Amino acid sequence: GAVVSQHPSWVICKSGTSVKIECRSLDFQATTMFWYRQFPKQSLMLMATSNEGSKATYEQGVEKDKFLINHASLTLSTLTVTSAHPEDSSFYICSASGTTGGGSYEQYFGPGTRLTVT
Amino acid sequence: GQQLNQSPQSMFIQEGEDVSMNCTSSSIFNTWLWYKQDPGEGPVLLIALYKAGELTSNGRLTAQFGITRKDSFLNISASIPSDVGIYFCAGFTSGTYKYIFGTGTRLKVLA
């Protein structure tokens, strides 16, 4: 399967500061990248979908001004949590998707970033 | 957000036993995917299904894409301790280009 990296793997920040998380597809060109949020013992909740070179599409209830997404290239997407608050503490996971041979759409996940806001 | 119904929610099994879990939806999907997630890590793709009725195996894992395109199941044969983890199904629709995840099945294997 394809490899997706995510950096940092964990981060602790103070309330009111901003944090940037990077997601890279290492061995394929990702036409689309997704950002998910996962609370303990729960499933993944889609936050937004981003396509290279265009604005991200946010899911209902996700504040686009708080969670800034940039998809600058076919291998890199970033999520910036602005003015972070303790309730933003969570496990953030990115994924990348692109067509494999035969037109199949498979989604590969990064290892996740654990954000703790103090 | 929307989630798919996945059952069972959790299960304890003895090593060597077979495991079966399923995922149902009120919507039709073009693709069904099954993932395994270990604690503190991202999900890892196990099996991808692209056609209604398709039955696909990956080692001890077998998954099927339901005929109605609204459900899928995953079987694990002869479970081993490293099968412990959370298994998620995901449905994909090319029209919306979204992956919708199931609620997860937490598997614990007793040696």
| pLDDT tens readout for residues B4-55 | 999 999 999 999 999 999 999 999 999 999 999 998 999 999 999 999 999 9
Instruction: Select from A60, A93, A106 the Cβ nearest to the Cβ of B42.
Output: A93
Confidence label for A27 from pLDDT (cuts 50, 70 and 90): confident
Instruction: Select from B40, B50, B99 the Cβ nearest to the Cβ of A107.
Output: B99
pLDDT above 80 (res A97):
yes
pLDDT above 50 (res A40):
yes
The pLDDT of residue A98: 73
**What is the average per-residue pLDDT within A63-90?**
93
The pLDDT of residue B111: 77
**What is the average per-residue pLDDT within A46-60?**
90
pLDDT above 60 (res A101):
no
- Taking CB atoms and an 8 Å limit, are B35 and A109 in contact across chains? yes
- Taking CB atoms and an 8 Å limit, are A104 and B31 in contact across chains? yes
Q: From chain A, pick out residues whose CB is under 8 angstroms from the CB of B1.
A: 45-46, 59-61
Percent of chain B residues past pLDDT 70, beyond the cut: 99
Residues in B 75-104 with any Cβ partner in A closer than 8 A: 88, 90, 92, 94, 97-104
- Taking CB atoms and an 8 Å limit, are A93 and B43 in contact across chains? yes
pLDDT above 60 (res A33):
yes
Alpha-carbon distance B33 to B46, whole Å? 8
**What is the average per-residue pLDDT within B88-96?**
88
Residue of A nearest to B46 (CA): A1
DSSP secondary structure of chain A: ---EEEE-SEEEE-TT--EEEEEEESSS--SEEEEEEE-TTS-EEEEEEEETTS--EEPTT--TTTEEEEEEETTEEEEEE-S--GGG-EEEEEEEEEE-TTS-EEEEE---EEEEE-
**What is the average per-residue pLDDT within A24-35?**
88
Confidence label for B76 from pLDDT (cuts 50, 70 and 90): very high
pLDDT above 50 (res A102):
no
The pLDDT of residue A99: 61
